[in-house]
Chains A and B, each alone.
Chain A
Amino acid sequence: MKAGSFRYERAYTLAEVFRLRREVDGDAQFLAGGQSLLASLAFRLSEPNLIIDISRIPELKGISVLPDAYLRVGALTTHRELAAHPDVRRHAPLLAEAVPLIAHAAIRNRGTIGGSLAFADAAAELPACCVALGARIIAAGPGGERTIPAASFFTGLFATAMAEDELIRAVEFPCAAPGDRGTIVELTRRSGDYAMAGLAVWAQHAASGAQTPRLVYFGVGTGPVAAAEAARALGPAPWTAQKVKAAQALLDRDLDPPADQHGGPEMKRHLARVLLARAVGKLGAEPGARAA
């Protein structure tokens, strides 16, 4: 379980990152919190020639509210910081609710939001939250910055819409409006392990009233999976038992879960139905991740 040999360079600016990336002979990997990268290095699933440590770049840090009512979260924000930050709790409460589900305290202390999204594990919580919340991802590359909607950011198993020489600079979430609410539920063998299946729900509340929620599953596909048909069947709150049942039935159209070490597609479909009922139950029974 020892990593193969590689070189290590620490960058202090984005310009330095792109210079190092351009000059490298062979593969390079960016090191942020390293909580997935070091495991894949240990397994030698990843064998880069160069590790570029981006963890001390000020341009990738900080949390702020933007003039267009988006909450901007720097890529290097750790899970611990995310859950504790008052602006996150107020403007994107779903994220704060999700954090305790991510791995364990020792990993949350070091793992970052940018790292989680860039790694794009299909069973991770934050990618699903980003899609559910309609986030936009700010990618930086040698040619400048571009904005990628979360819905088109995750392109497959451990794959994103970013080019090899791009990295995530920040993630921006629409600030929750009064009445918006959501929750996140998952099923794991051991608390903190990657989910066998999970579901992030976000329901907006417009002037015209409650809206149809976004249902985004994780651990049941090659990335976050939006269950649009089920969401349509569920419709705006209140969610009656009948609506939940109809939505559960339509999940078969939304989801095409591959088998993994936890079980086959049928088990995953079953878990997805269970999670839908649990999420709706949670939203009915308690405030859940309600915007302030």
Chain B
Amino acid sequence: MSTEVGISLTVNGERVSRRVEARRHLIDFLRLDLGLMGSHAGCEHGVCGACTVRVNGLIVRGCLVLAASLDGDTVETIEGASDSGEIRDLQDAFVARNACQCGYCTPGMLLTAAELLRENAEAGSVPSRDAIREHLSGNYCRCTGYHAIVDAVEAVAKARTASSGAGKP
């Protein structure tokens, strides 16, 4: 019996069809089959958050998703979010505040923070530092640079609110 599965999905806006081993998780699929090295495999059992990517618009742990189960789905990685310019301000803030040290956790941190910022923008609110810490609590930074990361996310939350407020009549 075959342990391979045929899948077709959209990755960063491009249609992709591949045969994958059933046991292959999404991060290995992205890195090894598609050559998208921005998503990082850390603990590979759902604890560290380094492998955070989006499936159908929501962040997930890439190591806790089988590639085989994603037929017809939409995946976005840090490469896609970078190229679209969607998180440009967040990336700039990470650089400005030295919030990426070794960089291993950074793609996961960025996509996790982006979801919090989007949800708050939809609700018309600015997340508190506690809320930012809580939302990022599933993402480890082994350089332990959490303070700078929270600073960067908070700065972007405030800046986006200010600019959206300024644009209102």
Contacts and interface: CB of A to CB of B under 8 A. Distances in A.
Given A2-B23, A41-B23, A107-B61, A7 B49 contact: no
Contacts of A6: 3, 22-23
B71 A10 contact: yes
Nearest to A35: B64
A1 B3 contact: no
B82 interface: no
Interface in B138-167: 138-139
B112 A42 contact: no
Contacts of A203: none
Interface of B: 1-3, 5, 21-23, 25, 28, 43-46, 49, 52, 55, 58-61, 63-66, 68-69, 71, 112, 115-116, 133-135, 137-139
Contact of A43 (B2, B45, B135, B137): B45
Interface string A186-218: 000011100000000000000000000000000
Nearest to A4: B23
A107 B64 CA distance: 9
A231 to B, nearest CB: 31
Nearest to B28: A2
Contacts of A109: 58-60
Contact of B49 (A43, A51, A106): A106
B60 to A, nearest CB: 5
Nearest to A53: B69
B138 A192 contact: yes
Given A1-B43, A7-B22, A192-B137, A51 B66 contact: yes
B3 A5 contact: yes
A38 B59 contact: no
Contacts of B23: 2-6, 41
Contact of B138 (A31, A104, A110): A104
Contacts of B43: 1
B122 to A, nearest CB: 12
Interface string A99-128: 010011111011000000000000000000
A158 interface: no
A80 B55 CA distance: 14
Nearest to A188: B137
A34 interface: yes
Interface of A: 1-8, 10, 31, 34-35, 38-39, 41-43, 51, 53, 55, 80, 100, 103-107, 109-110, 190-192
B49 A104 contact: yes
A31 B23 CA distance: 12
Nearest to A109: B58
A105 B3 contact: no
B112 to A, nearest CB: 7
Nearest to B51: A106
Contacts of A80: 58
Nearest to B72: A56
Given A1-B44, A5-B21, A34 B64 contact: yes
A191 B137 contact: yes
Q: Which 5 A-B pairs have the closest CB atoms?
A: A104-B138, A8-B22, A1-B44, A191-B137, A109-B58
Contact of B112 (A39, A53, A55, A105): A105
Nearest to B108: A106
A38 B137 contact: no
